[in-house]
Chains A and B, each alone.
Chain A
Amino acid sequence: MLGAARRQLGSAPMLGQVLRRLRPATSARAYSAAAKEMTVREALNSALDEEMSADPSVFLMGEEVGEYQGAYKITKGLLDKYGPDRVLDTPITEAGFTGIAVGAAYQGLRPVVEFMTFNFSMQAIDHIINSAAKSNYMSAGQINVPIVFRGPNGAAAGVGAQHSQCYAAWYAHVPGLKVLAPYSAEDARGLLKAAIRDPDPVVFLENELLYGESFPISAEVLDSSFSLPIGKAKVEREGKDVTIIAYSKMVGYALQAAEILSKEGISAEVINLRSIRPLDRAAINASVRKTNRLVTVEESFPQHGVGAEICMSVVEESFEYLDAPVERIAGADVPMPYAANLERMAVPQVDDIVRAAKRTCYRSVPMAATA
């Protein structure tokens, strides 16, 4: 039954593409026609390729990463290039193969474990937390675990509750893990390369619906030496009236919201967290001290979430700078429903962000008027 469910998932990229066509706003960004573009999928693939080429101790393992070329084609071409010794198709045994990868990392290899989706990492969470995250501490620094756990995270489309969950807050709760969530192609390349080079376990949360999206990309980012700092956020758009902080796909929504807000005279600053843990408290607080207003956006459940942690960092460091209550936009506090209309209501939408930003600026309109 599980197998059938997964096979269904294998066809999900196509579903994702259909959905992307239905979402006109995402392609509305204005980019110079001359700029080179790259999809997130190509960015991830090229990062894996370059790091494998640079360091023979890097290898990939997971379900369908080899002959199938990746359930979402992130590992396309790598089996041909690096052979089955370094691109390992595993049986459907998350606990087993994740633990094996962790053991290999104990011995100095640099495994990149692909979860077909992060939902399946639940079957291996013991190894991510107990075997990977805690070993450096328990061994007093004798055994470090240079490993990357990567795969699509968060809600896809129409796949129901068990396949539609964001694990950012789950993993970000754990000392010993670094948790990254790329948004753009630049993020994906720079952060994945940093994650693979990092000496500690990194949970790398991708988003299925972003895989096919194209982003402009500079020559610097295309350089094989490029990498991004772990623990540092990026100001995606500067503004002065309100700070919107998001990660992964929600950064795109936040940018769209900022565009709408600008037409109504509100200048929103959009921060792309990039790293959920460590959290870039400096960037968060610097922005809030400038705008004095904060909206957090996350796709996952609200309770004990990333938004709550961002808010607390502001309460601790910049409380006196706040001119309005912090607004939290999050997924609905329910398992993901299947029906498309309910699903849409269960995850944040651009309008939600716009409304929240206006509320912080005391320019709110009753929800009924805009809904």
Chain B
Amino acid sequence: MASFTAAAKFLAPVAAARSGGDSRAPPPPFPSASLRPRRKPAPSRLRTVLAVSSDVLSGNKSAPAAAAHSAVTREEALELYEDMVLGRIFEDMCAQMYYRGKMFGFVHLYNGQEAVSTGFIKQLNQADCVVSTYRDHVHALSKGVPARSVMAELFGKATGCCRGQGGSMHMFSAPHNLLGGFAFIGEGIPVATGAAFAAKYRHEVLKESGPDGLDVTLAFFGDGTCNNGQFFECLNMAQLWKLPIVFVVENNLWAIGMSHLRATSDPEIYKKGPAFGMPGVHVDGMDVLKVREVAKEAIERARRGEGPTLVECETYRFRGHSLADPDELRKPDEKSHYAARDPITALKKYIIEQNLATESELKSIEKKIDDVVEEAVEFADASPLPPRSQLLENVFSDPKGFGIGPDGKYRCEDPLFTQGTAQV
């Protein structure tokens, strides 16, 4: 827990300071010491990171402290770079396609927030889960859903990751354990908490967990959600039951047109973690390396069975709330302030300064991603629309719904059903 000193701000829960009689010290759920991180906690050399809300609160416009990151290898740096560039170019293409009428409805783009998706999701395993919001395209990409599947879904095509039945705000991919984009504020948090509950249940009741510890779930949501009751309900239960989950707040300062500061009595969201007995961490969400470091620690902590963490990532969206948002309330100087802190530009600068790769190598990554996104559009465009017959499919998992089997009989009439052995 002490290793969270890497974060700009860290609040430890105060439970330990309470009076005796509180025998909550849990035994380590994974006795193998090898599961503990070998890496020593990063020294607290990352002093003040320019925090968006505190920045806005204080009117402090000073430049961010010189970035100092724990070592990142060339391969890791390039992986992060590629993923962020993919997120950016993909979303820019979405805007084009939206204006060309290729996609429709509400389309919420992720530009500016890439460091959060990349910094967190790239630390996950395949079996770990991601639960997202309506701004979910890039989370899906980071989790490994192919760009062409996401694009085809946005085009409403049969080859989309949900065959065109989900759409922009509802990306699911079972093989990637992407458990959906949820369109309502706060709605995804309990579902994510449930996925974490299932991981713990599989470990403790079904004895199914792998040797690496618990599968971890990341719940992504925004600053606006942190005023919603489900957020508090789930912080409570996640900590109460020590669930392997990380609550990732993407605080982009604006809930559509409602400023975070106008909506929230105490705008420092990370402080709400300790109120529930879990660590609350604040991190510069425009710096992928810092996000990554916090993410690693929070995820490892969850995997070891030590419970949830609340991480507030201070970030900014470079576009309106959705492509239908005229974005008239955010001030130009605020926008330019954050535009100057573009997380992709920052990583690029770092990579070159640290001699991890050359500019032309980064260029070739950008070129490669350009091609990937172009190909995704071509694939989506050329893909067939869902056939008429698809309309009534998938309402129930039971193929025909209504408890009726493929032979047209009620499934319960199958003798295996009443023996409790039929998969119904």
The one of B230, B393, B403 in contact with A194, judged by C-beta atoms closer than 8 angstroms, is B403
Q: Which residues of A contact B420 (CB under 8 A)?
A: 54-55, 197, 224-225
Q: Which residues of A contact B234 (CB under 8 A)?
A: 96, 99-100
Does residue B174 face the partner (Cβ distance < 8 Å to A)?
Answer: yes
Residues of the A chain whose Cβ atoms lie less than 8 Å from the Cβ of B197:
100, 103-104
Contacting residues, chain A, for B419 (C-beta < 8 A): 225
> In the bound complex, do residue A126 and residue B184 qualify as a contact, i.e. CB atoms below 8 Å apart?
yes
Give the residues in chain A near B402, CB-CB below 8 Å: 178, 230-231, 278
Q: Do A231 and B403 touch (CB < 8 A)?
A: yes
- Return the chain A residue nearest B195 by Cβ: A103
Q: Is B194 an interface residue (CB 8 A)?
A: yes
Q: Which residues of A contact B187 (CB under 8 A)?
A: 99, 126-127, 130-131
Chain A residues, CB < 8 A from B423: 199
Interface string of A184-219 (1 = CB under 8 A from B): 000000000010011110000000000000000000
CA distance A103 to B132 in the complex (A): 13
A107 in the interface (beta carbon within 8 A) = yes
Q: What are the interface flags for B392-424 relative to A under an 8 Å C-beta threshold, 1 for contact and 0 otherwise?
A: 011111100111100000111100011110011
Instruction: Determine whether the beta carbon of A228 is less than 8 Å from that of B189.
Output: no
Which chain A residues lie closer than 8 Å to B325 at the CB level? none
A143 touching B163, Cβ below 8 Å = no
Are B193 and A100 closer than 8 Å at their CB atoms? yes
The answer to whether A96 and B413 have CB atoms under 8 Å apart is no
Q: Tell whether A103 pairs with B191 under 8 Å between CB atoms, given A131-B182, A200-B396.
A: yes
B410 partner residues in chain A, CB cutoff 8 A: 229-232
Task: Say whether A93 contacts B198, CB under 8 Å.
Answer: no
Is A86 an interface position by the 8 A CB rule?
A: yes
Q: Which residues of B contact A231 (CB under 8 A)?
A: 402-404, 410
Q: With both chains docked as a complex, state the minimum distance between the C-beta of A141 and any C-beta of chain B, in angstroms.
A: 4
In this assembly, does B10 line the interface, its C-beta being within 8 Å of a C-beta of chain A?
A: no
Main secondary structure of the interface of A (DSSP, over half): loop
Chain B residues in 8 Å Cβ range of A197: 417, 420, 424
Q: From A38-46, A132-140, A341-349, give the one contacting chain B.
A: A132-140
A99/B194 in contact, CB under 8 A: yes
Q: In chain A between 113 and 169, which residues have their CB closer than 8 angstroms to a CB of chain B?
A: 126-127, 130-131, 135-146
A101 surroundings in chain B (CB, below 8 A):
194
Q: What total of A-B pairs shows CB separation below 8 Å?
A: 198
Residues B309-328 near A (CB distance < 8 A): none
Report whether A138 and B172 are in contact in the complex, using a CB–CB cutoff of 8 Å: yes
Residue from the list B191, B395, B398 in contact with A99, Cβ < 8 A: B191
Known contacts A138-B166, A144-B397; A228 and B190 CB within 8 A of each other: no
Is B194 touching A140 in the complex (CB atoms < 8 A)? no
Complex CA–CA separation, A224 to B179 (angstroms): 34
A143 touches B393 (CB 8 A): no
The size bracket of the interface on B is 35 or more
Chain B, Cβ-Cβ closest to A55: B420
Q: Which one, A103, A107, A194, A224, contacts B412 given CB within 8 A?
A: A194
Give the complex CA separation of A327 and B195 in angstroms. Answer: 47
Label chain B's interface by main secondary structure.
mixed
Are A106 and B195 neighbours in the complex by a CB distance under 8 Å?
A: yes
Q: Is the CB of B233 within 8 A of A96?
A: yes
Interface residues of B in 276-296 (CB under 8 A from A): none
Contact B162 A227 (CB under 8 A): no
The size of the chain A interface, using a CB distance under 8 A, is 59
Is A57 an interface residue, CB under 8 A from the partner? yes
Report if B206 contacts A (CB, 8 A).
yes
Q: Check: A109 CB closer than 8 A to any chain B CB.
A: yes
Residue of B174, B233, B398, B404 near A93 (CB, 8 A) is: B233
CB distance from A197 to the nearest CB of B (A): 5
Q: Which residues of A contact B230 (CB under 8 A)?
A: 95-96, 99
Alpha-carbon separation in the docked complex, A100 to B11 (Å):
26
Q: Which interface residue of B184, B194, B197, B206 has the most chain A CB atoms within 10 A? A: B194
Q: Does B351 contact A (CB under 8 A)?
A: no
CB neighbours (8 Å) of B165 from chain A are: 137-140
Q: Which residues of A contact B191 (CB under 8 A)?
A: 99-100, 102-103, 106, 127, 131
- Contacts A57-B206, A99-B194 hold; do A142 and B233 have CB atoms under 8 A apart? no
Asked if A104 contacts B198 (CB within 8 A), the reply is yes
> Which chain A residues in 219-261 approach chain B with CB under 8 Å?
224-232
Cross-chain contact A97 with B190 (CB below 8 angstroms): yes
Name the distance in Å between A301's Cβ and chain B's nearest Cβ: 26
Chain A residue numbers with a CB within 8 Å of B237 are 90-91, 93, 96-97, 100
Inside 8 A of A96's CB, which chain B residues have their CB? 190, 193, 229-230, 233-234, 236-237
Instruction: Give the distance in Å from the alpha carbon of A137 to the alpha carbon of B164 in the complex.
Output: 10
Which residues in B have their C-beta under 8 angstroms from that of A141? 393-394, 397
Min CB–CB distance B76 → chain A (angstroms): 29
**In the complex, given contacts A95-B186, A103-B197, A200-B401, what are 13 additional A-B residue pairs having Cβ atoms less than 8 angstroms apart?**
A93-B233, A99-B230, A104-B197, A106-B179, A106-B195, A108-B198, A109-B201, A144-B397, A146-B397, A194-B403, A199-B423, A228-B412, A231-B402
Can you list 13 pairs linking A and B with CB atoms under 8 Å apart? A54-B420, A95-B229, A96-B190, A96-B229, A96-B236, A99-B187, A103-B190, A104-B198, A140-B163, A140-B393, A141-B397, A197-B420, A229-B403
List residues of B whose CB falls within 8 A of some A CB: 129, 131, 162-167, 170, 172-174, 179-180, 182-184, 186-187, 189-199, 201-202, 204-206, 229-230, 233-234, 236-237, 240, 393-398, 401-404, 410-413, 417-420, 423-424
Please name the 9 residue pairs, one residue from A and one from B, whose CB atoms are nearest each other, closest first: A103-B194, A99-B190, A96-B233, A144-B397, A107-B198, A139-B172, A103-B191, A230-B403, A142-B174
